[in-house]
Amino acid sequence: MSKLITSGRTAIYPGTFDPVTYGHVDVAKRAAELFDRVTICVAVNTTKTPLFSGKERVGMIEEAVKGIENIGVEEFEGLLVDYALKKKANAIVRGLRAVSDFEYEFQMALTNRKLCKNIDTVFLMPHEKYTYLNSTIVREIARFGGDVSEFVPEHVKIKLTDKFRDAKPEDGRKQPR
Ligand code: COA
């Protein structure tokens, strides 16, 4: 596919990615077609309490986008616009899955533009088969032993299984007969 934007364009794709899903990968791939360089940046100081450490989340994303040469992955903390300036990014990429995402994304995009007028937010729609997906749902399914193969790459599924196996409480509950 040919590039739609002239050379030298850099984008950052921020999020919590706890864990990365096929929906995120879909957005990242679309961004990689539009920009010369895309850095997926993993927020480590959000108000969320992630299941996976920043390092684990970066590792899972790196594996998921392996082979796409213009995508890099790293952690970030602090204000997103400061990070964007440091990376000399022209744009922030965000996925827009449904109307319900709009208000929050609109607020965040305008706030970021207020903080730094040179950085715009570009919204990309993942494939419709991923519109209902988020990381909380994936964690919830995995926590109760459900199959997440359709939502995350195999290596993420294994990490989820390991995480919840390690975290299983020794609560002495009786097994059903
Ligand atoms: N496929 C699947 N799920 C998707 C998705 C896609 N394409 N796009 C978004 N989601 C899900 C995410 O998994 C996440 O799910 P969760 O809430 O269950 O974890 C949810 O939609 C949205 O979260 P995410 O995309 O991770 O963004 P976020 O809202 O957690 O992170 C930051 C927002 C990190 C970008 C923002 O808080 C930030 O910029 N922080 C830095 C501080 C700052 O500058 N603040 C001012 C910003 S105005």
Atom of ligand 1 nearest to the CA of 16: 26
Residue ranges of the domains in the chain? Answer: 10-132
Positive or negative torsion for Cα 147, 150, 154, 155: negative
Supply the pTM of this predicted model: 0.90
Q: In this predicted structure, which of 44-48, 59-63, 151-155 has the lowest mean pLDDT?
A: 44-48
Dist CA 42 CA 62 (whole Å): 11
CB 97 within 8 A of CB 126: yes
pLDDT tens digits, 78-127 = 999 999 999 999 999 999 988 888 999 999 999 999 999 989 999 999 99
Q: How confident is the model at residue 7 (pLDDT cuts 50, 70, 90)?
A: low
- Residue 149 Cα, ligand 1 centroid: separation in angstroms? 22
pLDDT tens digits, 55-75 = 999 999 999 999 999 999 999
Which 3 state secondary structure label does DSSP give 12? strand
Dist CA 42 CA 59 (whole Å): 11
Cβ neighbours for 9, distance < 8 A, ≥ 6 positions apart: 34, 35, 36, 37, 90, 91
pLDDT at 3 over 50: no
Active site residues: 24, 48, 97, 135
pLDDT at 35 over 70: yes
Which of these, 39, 36, 38, 46, lies nearest to 16 by C-alpha position? 46
> 3-state SS of 83-107?
HHHHCCCCEEEEECCCHHHHHHHHH
Which of 17, 25, 46 best tests ligand 1's pocket when mutated (most atoms within 8 Å of CB)? 46
Instruction: Give the residue, by CA position, lying nearest to ligand 1 atom 39.
Output: 80
The DSSP line for 122-134 is: EEEPPPGGGTT--
Averaged pLDDT score across all residues of the chain: 90
User: CB within 6 Å of ligand 1 — which residues?
Assistant: 14-16, 18, 21, 23-24, 27, 43, 46, 48, 79-80, 95, 97, 108, 111-112, 126, 130, 133-136
The third-level CATH classification (topology) of the domain covering 10-132 is Rossmann fold (3.40.50)
Q: How confident is the model at residue 168 (pLDDT cuts 50, 70, 90)?
A: low
